[in-house]
Copies of this chain bind each other. A is one copy, B any other.
Amino acid sequence: MKEKKTSPYHHGNLKEELLQTALEMIDKEGLDTITLRELTQRLGTSRTAVYRHFASKEALILGVIEKGYEHLNLLFTPIFQDRTHSVAVRFEAMGRAYLDFAIEHPNLYRLLFGENFRQEREEICDYKDENQATGLYALIGLLTEAQEEGIIAQVNPMVQAAMVWASIHGLASLLIDGHLIMSDNMEAIYEYSIGVLLKGLQ
């Protein structure tokens, strides 16, 4: 908000800006290539200022992950909860939004859904379970709705959700990691995948 001409000794909002800038840097350059020195330099502070707000680089990244999940929730929740559209339409829109995010932000996608901080991440996700709209639980809700409408078979929705998530996640991962050399076929693959899923779930 308020900007001093000569940068003051105390930054004022460093913790939040560290998280924000780190997220942007990871988004653009990837997790492996970002460095604390470049991050702090970009904010006009010294290298070790980070350690007044985070115990380590890993702790900072973990904060970025948390921020990323919140961001994604805000992006996906409206799609899940939009009852003006049918379950099937929402299902398809959800998958498309998920894929779009992965393709537009591959580095962030890997950060949130890759191998990083497996252990610590579970803590973040655990306390997020309260938020009903988040991630897997939103999908479970949608599938439960679909079961009630008789669109899909009445199977343990958690198992169904895992299967569906895995399919879309796998497609996103293979694409952004360059294992499917057919970017032109992408739309066809996605539409076919949704079709196979909806038919297979019946």
A interface residue numbers (CB < 8 A to B): 110, 113-115, 118-119, 121-122, 155-156, 158-160, 162-163, 165-171, 173-174, 176-182, 185, 188-189, 192-193, 195-202
Interface pair B176/A173, CB less than 8 Å apart: no
CB A49 to nearest CB in B, in angstroms, measures 26
* Chain B residues, CB < 8 A from A193: 163, 166
Q: How far is the CA of A76 from the CA of B140 in the complex (A)?
A: 34
Interface pair A182/B165, CB less than 8 Å apart: no
* Chain B residues, CB < 8 A from A174: 113, 162, 165-166, 169
Interface pair A163/B196, CB less than 8 Å apart: yes
Interface pair A177/B118, CB less than 8 Å apart: yes
Interface centre among A158, A165, A166, A201, by most chain B C-beta atoms within 10 angstroms, is A166
CB A112 to nearest CB in B, in angstroms, measures 10
Known: A174-B169, A177-B114, A178-B121. A185 touches B158 (CB 8 A): yes
Q: How far is the CA of A193 from the CA of B188 in the complex (A)?
A: 21
Closest chain B residue, CB of each to CB of A163:
B193
Contact pick for A168, options B158, B160, B170, CB 8 Å: B170
Nearest first, the 3 A-B pairs at minimum CB distance are: A170-B170, A200-B200, A196-B200
* Chain B residues, CB < 8 A from A180: 162, 166
